[in-house]
């Protein structure tokens, strides 16, 4: 359910932008006119907090946990101001302006993923791209996996801390967001090392004092729950045969 501020004034603001586009489409297409989006609406505390809760305070793309120092950036899955098919190609204007205040298009990401993705939003057929609120978005086949409406584990898996594509869309998602970037992989490796040690303790069973064994088992059970840091990787490591199973 979308927070109230996206209904009103969000919807009203979206309608004003659509009307403005209808009057000045050439100017918006050339980039000589640009929309002034209001972050006090789409990044309002009520919106961001609802998303943080739904995302278990993790980046929607890389599953890093948000901390006090880095509370996350508001992210538009379909970029609002301009759009690019590939990094090497020119930006196209005006982007998906009509989705700037749309609940379904909003996420919270870490600043690294946000800057890597930037205005990139590749489609399998760029000719099918909706260029205005009058076009049919249903014809688009996005190459990025939408973490809000799709199951990323159908497209991506982990071998140890290394991320691997299972599909073409998984490959594109890894490339656009650089989910194989070294800092992220190092952080995942650290998490995996501690899981590995816990697994060793949990496997000692009856041979040692039961308490640390039980505690290690509980920590391992928690590591695959949705609110755990890098839980997709943990699931591939700890439950390789049923990584897709729901909790
Ligand atoms: Zn991230």
pLDDT at 241: 80
The CA 232 to ligand 1 mean position distance, Å, reads 14
Query: Could you tell me if 59 and 66 are in contact, meaning their C-beta atoms sit under 8 angstroms apart?
Result: yes
Containing structural domain, residue 175: 150-247
What is each CA distance from 139 to 78, 103, 106, in whole angstroms?
Answer: 14, 20, 21
The CA 91 to ligand 1 mean position distance, Å, reads 23
Task: Give the chain's end-to-end CA distance (angstroms, integer).
Answer: 23
Query: In which region does residue 123 sit, left (phi positive, over 0), alpha (psi from -120 to 50) or beta (all else)?
Result: beta
Question: Do 42 and 115 belong together in one domain?
Answer: yes
Question: Do 240 and 167 belong together in one domain?
Answer: yes
Who surrounds ion ligand 1 at CB < 5 A? Answer: 59, 61-62, 110, 113
The CA 94 to ligand 1 mean position distance, Å, reads 25
**Mean per-residue pLDDT, 131-139:** 96
Query: Could you tell me if 198 and 219 are in contact, meaning their C-beta atoms sit under 8 angstroms apart?
Result: yes
The alpha-helical segments, DSSP class H, found in the chain are 4-7, 10-23, 25-30, 39-42, 45-54, 111-117, 168-177, 182-202, 210-223, 231-238
Query: pLDDT-based confidence at 245, cuts 50/70/90?
Result: low
Domain count of the chain? Answer: 2
Which among 143, 175, 200 is the end of a domain? 143
Would you state the torsion angle of the CA atoms of residues 26, 30, 34, 35, taken in this order, to the nearest 10 degrees?
Answer: 50
The CA 154 to ligand 1 mean position distance, Å, reads 19
The CA 180 to ligand 1 mean position distance, Å, reads 11
Phi and psi angles of residue 67, each rounded to the nearest 5 degrees, phi first: -120, 175
State yes or no: pLDDT of 70 exceeds 80: no
Question: Do 157 and 106 belong together in one domain?
Answer: no
pLDDT tens string 152-186: 999 999 999 999 999 999 999 999 999 999 999 99
Strands 156-159 and 162-165: antiparallel
State yes or no: pLDDT of 69 exceeds 90: no
pLDDT at 244: 61
State yes or no: pLDDT of 39 exceeds 80: yes
Question: Do 86 and 165 belong together in one domain?
Answer: no
Question: Do 122 and 186 belong together in one domain?
Answer: no
pLDDT at 183: 94
The CA 67 to ligand 1 mean position distance, Å, reads 12
- Judged by average pLDDT, the poorest of 81-95, 102-116, 119-133, 200-214 is 200-214
The CA 159 to ligand 1 mean position distance, Å, reads 19
Question: Do 191 and 139 belong together in one domain?
Answer: no
The CA 108 to ligand 1 mean position distance, Å, reads 9
- How far is the C-alpha of 53 from the C-alpha of 45, rounded, in Å? 12
State yes or no: pLDDT of 30 exceeds 90: yes
The CA 61 to ligand 1 mean position distance, Å, reads 5
The CA 124 to ligand 1 mean position distance, Å, reads 24
pLDDT tens string 201-222: 888 876 677 888 888 999 999 9
Q: Which has the closest alpha carbon to 146: 124, 121, 182?
A: 121
Question: Do 177 and 205 belong together in one domain?
Answer: yes
Question: Do 237 and 127 belong together in one domain?
Answer: no
- How far is the C-alpha of 100 from the C-alpha of 3, rounded, in Å? 14
- Judged by average pLDDT, the poorest of 79-83, 104-108, 183-187, 214-218 is 214-218
pLDDT above 70: percentage of residues in the chain: 96
State yes or no: pLDDT of 126 exceeds 80: yes
Which among 143, 161, 181 is the end of a domain? 143
The CA 134 to ligand 1 mean position distance, Å, reads 32
Question: Do 207 and 167 belong together in one domain?
Answer: yes
The CA 110 to ligand 1 mean position distance, Å, reads 4
State yes or no: pLDDT of 242 exceeds 90: no
Question: Do 241 and 128 belong together in one domain?
Answer: no
Which among 114, 143, 172 is the end of a domain? 143
The CA 77 to ligand 1 mean position distance, Å, reads 13
- How far is the C-alpha of 132 from the C-alpha of 29, rounded, in Å? 10
Exposed e or buried b for every residue in 86-114, given b needs 16+ CB within 10 A?
eeeeebbbbbbbbbbbbbebbbbbbebbb
Question: Do 55 and 115 belong together in one domain?
Answer: yes
pLDDT tens string 191-201: 999 999 999 88
Task: Assign 3-class secondary structure to 65-77.
Answer: ECECCECCEEEEC
Query: pLDDT-based confidence at 226, cuts 50/70/90?
Result: very high
The CA 161 to ligand 1 mean position distance, Å, reads 15
Query: Could you tell me if 141 and 128 are in contact, meaning their C-beta atoms sit under 8 angstroms apart?
Result: yes
Question: Do 136 and 222 belong together in one domain?
Answer: no
Exposed e or buried b for every residue in 42-74, given b needs 16+ CB within 10 A?
bebeebbebbeeebebbbbbbbbbbeeeeebbb
Report the mean per-residue pLDDT for the chain: 94
The CA 66 to ligand 1 mean position distance, Å, reads 9
């Amino acid at each position: 359910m979308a927070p109230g501020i996206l209904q009103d004034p969000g919807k009203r603001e979206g309608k004003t932008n659509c009307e403005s586009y209808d009057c000045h489409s050439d100017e918006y297409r050339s980039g000589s006119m640009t929309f002034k989006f209001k972050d006090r609406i789409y990044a309002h505390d009520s919106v961001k907090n609802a998303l943080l809760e739904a995302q278990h305070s993790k980046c929607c793309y890389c599953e890093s946990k948000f901390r006090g120092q880095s509370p996350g950036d508001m992210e538009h899955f379909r970029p609002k101001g301009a759009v690019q098919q590939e990094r090497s190609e020119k930006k196209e204007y005006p982007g998906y302006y009509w989705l700037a205040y749309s609940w379904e298009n909003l996420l919270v990401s870490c600043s690294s993923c946000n800057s890597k993705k930037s205005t990139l939003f590749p489609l399998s057929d760029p000719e099918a791209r909706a260029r205005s609120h009058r076009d049919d978005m249903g014809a688009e086949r996005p190459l990025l996996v939408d973490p809000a409406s799709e199951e990323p584990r159908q497209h991506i898996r982990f071998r140890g801390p290394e991320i691997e594509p299972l599909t073409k869309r998984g490959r594109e998602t890894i490339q656009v967001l650089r989910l194989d970037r070294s800092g992220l992989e190092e952080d995942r490796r650290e998490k995996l090392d501690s899981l590995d040690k816990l697994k060793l303790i949990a496997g000692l069973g009856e041979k040692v004092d039961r308490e640390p064994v039980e505690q290690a088992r509980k920590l391992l059970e928690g590591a695959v729950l949705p609110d755990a840091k890098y839980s997709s990787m943990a699931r591939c490591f700890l439950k390789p045969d049923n990584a897709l199973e729901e909790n």
